[in-house]
């Protein structure tokens, strides 16, 4: 016997040392509800010396308000002894020697001995966990979007005020419900499947990428949403924190912008159609008129009296003007259609224009001063037309009594080049500063300054193509200064 | 040729010489005894009206009707109306202003209807019928 007893003694001692040193509070309670044993962690947690509690009713460690029913619960346990957690679903509190309470989690284990049945109570102080949960709850509560915490089974465990507002449920109505009550009928059925897939592979992601998501509120109103999912490991198991944003306004804006784009595309098609009409349908009868007036002029001119002859030459003139206008309109609508951005040396560009305009420069004795110009990104054909229009305007609208003098210079602004074309011509009243850029608008009589009135509207459209701006500063009889800006960074244009 | 009482002169304000040529021809065809003055800009027309005070009436006959184009280089028909409003009432008495335009912009017609200085709003081209209609409306035969 003694040979057998010795190792047993040793085991008993080891067991006692282990229990005493366990980092959990362990209490043995007997059937009378008295404390039979506490380990040293209990002393630390409850601030009692073990001599003070051993032999006492376990209720000394319980806040007064729970004492009443505790004896009953304890007897219930002894009647049906099995290992379990105490008070599932309820919040448990324990009482320290100084009467302060703290939240606990309690595990119960029946121990059957020859001296009678005992219950081993293991107590975990969950103060820190509760604090963390409270912090988490506050963060969720203060989030600007609706947030819902649901468990693995899809039961809603936590919601914030934004959720109440968005879904029109009161908190108590929605807690404990399945998350599916917030999902429209047609998806409700397949949602549990999605939920399971998520819990198999939990990761932070947005829900239903590429699909339009909808939610329903208490009044069964559907609204489009964007949902972010965050898997969370909590003391209550795996959960999902969903943050839900109502995107009704954004959807509407997107819809409006889509419609607007569609309308614009339609308008653009119409414009293209218009170009076609102008180029073909209008030109056709015009050519006939032109040919017929030619015939009348060549074969019958002498047979007309003076008024008839005037009518005929006016007819020719009107036809020619109509042709010019149609061509100008066509050019206008075609601007920038087939162009590509490229690097342009403005100095070279101006030299070429000077060659094109050589005869009118010579004829008018125009003096053109050109400051060193930059290399810029732009549409070459269009920019050439822009410079050419501005220079030939400066020559065309010269004063009778002085030779045209034109200065072209440039200034570097923050993100753009600002070009300046200054002349000493007839200038203009600034009240027409906008009108001159409008198609077919002219300030001066056609017989003195022939033209269609399209040049500057070309310039304006060209600047629009370059995301730049064009404007004028002038005074009647004091010359004009035309400015235009063009981005130094082509990515911005 | 008919002589219409109160209608000694018609002024055509239009920068387009062909339009003026055609309108003169229409007035001639209506067989009315009336002087026709052509002003090819708003400034010219305003100078004419102002000049009536200082020039003999046979050189600057008083207009009974002004046919006014809207779209002209520089100052347009609306600018003319603005300046016309500033003239002394004595000078504007018994002058009928008929806007004669190719404008298809409904705003133009609406504004014209709301402008007391504008008596009529007509679409180009002027025809004998439109002319006679204007005369019948404002120059009843006594």
- pLDDT tens per residue across span A184-193: 988 888 888 8
A306-334 and B17-29 helices cross at what angle (nearest 10)? 140
Q: What is the pLDDT of residue A349?
A: 95
As a whole number, mean pLDDT of residues A164-183 equals 93
Tokens of A479: 């010359």
B18 reaches A (C-beta below 8 A)? yes
Q: Please list, residue by residue across A356-366, b when 16 or more beta carbons sit within 10 angstroms of its beta carbon and e when fewer do.
A: ebeeebeeeeb
- pLDDT tens per residue across span B45-96: 999 999 988 999 888 999 999 999 998 988 999 999 999 999 988 888 889 9
Q: What is the pLDDT of residue A421?
A: 96
Interface test with chain B among A310, A446, A450, A455, by most B beta carbons within 10 Å: A446
pLDDT exceeding 90 applies to what percent of chain A? 58
Q: What is the pLDDT of residue B142?
A: 52
d(C-alpha A106, C-alpha A77), whole Å: 13
Tokens of A490: 């082509």
Matching residue, tokens 């009243």: A429
Q: What is the pLDDT of residue A259?
A: 94
d(C-alpha A327, C-alpha A331), whole Å: 6
A307 reaches B (C-beta below 8 A)? yes
Would you say residue A386 has pLDDT above 60? yes
Interface test with chain B among A445, A451, A452, A454, by most B beta carbons within 10 Å: A445
Q: What is the pLDDT of residue A492?
A: 44
Which residues of chain B make contact with A397, given a CB cutoff of 8 A?
none
Tokens of A141: 């509560």
CB A378 within 8 A of CB A341: yes
Across the interface, do A447 and B16 touch by the CB < 8 Å criterion? no
With the C-alpha atoms ordered B32, B36, B42, B47, is the resulting torsion angle positive or negative?
negative
Strands (DSSP E) along A114-261, which ranges?
A: 116-125, 146-151, 156-159, 205-206, 213-216, 222-234, 237-246
Task: Give B35's contacts (C-beta < 8 A, 6+ positions apart).
Answer: B8, B9, B10, B61
As a whole number, mean pLDDT of residues A446-459 equals 87
CB A102 within 8 A of CB A47: no
Closest CA to A413 of A343, A484, A465, A346: A484
Q: What is the pLDDT of residue A1?
A: 44
Task: Kindly write down the DSSP assignment for every residue of A45-101, as one continuous string.
Answer: HH---HHHHTTSBGGGGS-HHHHHHHHHHHHHHHHS---EESSTTS-EEEE-TTS-E
Q: What is the pTM of this model?
A: 0.56
As a whole number, mean pLDDT of residues A399-412 equals 94
- Interface pTM, i.e. ipTM: 0.73
CB B66 within 8 A of CB B38: no
Q: Measured at the alpha carbon of residue B16, what is the angle toward residues B13 and B22, in degrees to the nearest 5?
A: 85
Task: Give A195's contacts (C-beta < 8 A, 6+ positions apart).
Answer: A154, A179, A240
Which residues of chain A make contact with B15, given a CB cutoff of 8 A?
445-446
Nearest CA in chain A to B19: A314
Would you say residue A493 has pLDDT above 50? no
Report the range of poorest mean pLDDT among A43-47, A208-212, A217-221, A368-372. A208-212
CB B38 within 8 A of CB B44: no
């Amino acid at each position: 016997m003694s040979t057998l007893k010795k190792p047993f003694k040793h085991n008993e001692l080891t067991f006692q040392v282990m229990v005493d040193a366990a980092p959990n509070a362990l209490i043995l309670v007997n059937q009378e509800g008295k404390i039979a044993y506490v380990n040293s962690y209990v002393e630390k947690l409850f601030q009692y010396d073990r001599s003070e509690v051993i032999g006492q009713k376990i209720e000394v460690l319980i806040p007064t308000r729970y004492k009443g029913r505790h004896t009953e619960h304890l007897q219930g346990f002894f009647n049906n002894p099995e290992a379990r957690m105490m008070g599932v679903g309820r919040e448990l509190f324990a009482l320290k020697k100084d009467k302060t309470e703290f939240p606990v989690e309690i595990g119960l284990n029946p121990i059957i001995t020859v001296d009678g049945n005992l219950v081993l109570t293991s107590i975990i102080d969950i103060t820190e966990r509760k604090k963390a949960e409270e912090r988490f709850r506050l963060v969720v509560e203060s989030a600007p979007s609706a947030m819902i915490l649901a468990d693995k089974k899809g039961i809603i465990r936590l919601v914030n005020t934004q959720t109440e507002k968005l879904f029109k449920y009161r908190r108590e109505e929605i807690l404990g419900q399945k998350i599916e009550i917030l999902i429209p009928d047609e998806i409700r059925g397949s949602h549990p499947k999605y939920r399971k897939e998520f819990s198999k592979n939990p990761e932070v992601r947005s829900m239903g990428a590429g699909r339009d998501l909808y939610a329903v509120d208490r009044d069964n109103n559907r609204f489009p949403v964007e949902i972010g999912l965050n898997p969370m490991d909590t003391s209550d198991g795996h959960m999902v924190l969903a943050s839900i944003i109502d995107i009704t306004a954004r959807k509407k804006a997107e819809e409006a912008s889509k419609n607007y784009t569609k309308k614009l595309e339609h308008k653009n098609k119409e414009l293209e159609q218009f170009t076609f009409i102008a180029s073909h349908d209008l030109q056709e009868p015009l050519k006939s008129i032109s040919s017929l007036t030619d015939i009348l002029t060549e074969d019958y001119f002498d047979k007309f009296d003076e008024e008839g002859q005037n009518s005929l030459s006016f007819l020719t003139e009107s036809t020619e003007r109509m042709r010019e206008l149609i061509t100008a309109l066509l050019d206008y609508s075609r601007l920038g259609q087939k162009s590509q951005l490229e690097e342009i040396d403005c100095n070279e560009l101006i030299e070429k224009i000077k060659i094109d305009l050589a005869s009118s420069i010579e004829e008018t004795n125009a003096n053109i001063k050109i400051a060193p110009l930059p290399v810029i990104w732009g549409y070459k054909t269009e920019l050439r037309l822009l410079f050419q229009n501005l220079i030939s305007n400066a020559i065309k609208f010269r004063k009778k009594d002085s030779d045209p003098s034109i200065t072209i210079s440039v200034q570097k602004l923050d993100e753009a080049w600002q070009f300046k074309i200054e002349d000493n011509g007839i200038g203009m009243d600034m009240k027409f500063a906008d009108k001159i850029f409008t198609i077919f608008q002219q300030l001066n009589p056609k017989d003195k300054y022939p033209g269609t009135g399209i040049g500057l509207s070309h310039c304006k459209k060209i600047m629009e193509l370059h995301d730049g701006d064009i404007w004028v500063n002038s005074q009647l009889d004091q010359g004009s200064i035309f400015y235009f800006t063009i981005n130094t960074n082509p990515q911005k244009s | 040729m008919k002589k219409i009482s109160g209608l000694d002169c018609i002024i055509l304000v239009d920068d387009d010489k062909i339009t003026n040529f055609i309108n003169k021809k229409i007035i001639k065809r209506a067989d009315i005894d009336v002087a026709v003055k052509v002003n090819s800009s708003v400034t010219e027309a305003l100078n004419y009206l102002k000049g009536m005070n200082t020039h003999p009436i046979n050189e600057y006959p008083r207009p009974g009707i002004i046919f006014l184009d809207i779209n002209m280089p520089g100052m347009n028909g609306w600018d003319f109306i603005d300046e016309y409003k500033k003239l002394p009432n004595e000078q504007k008495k018994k002058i009928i202003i008929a806007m004669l335009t190719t404008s298809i912009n409904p705003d133009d017609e609406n504004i014209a209807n709301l402008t007391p200085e504008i008596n009529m709003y007509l679409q180009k081209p002027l025809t004998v019928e439109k002319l006679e209609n204007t005369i019948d409306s404002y120059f009843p035969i006594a």
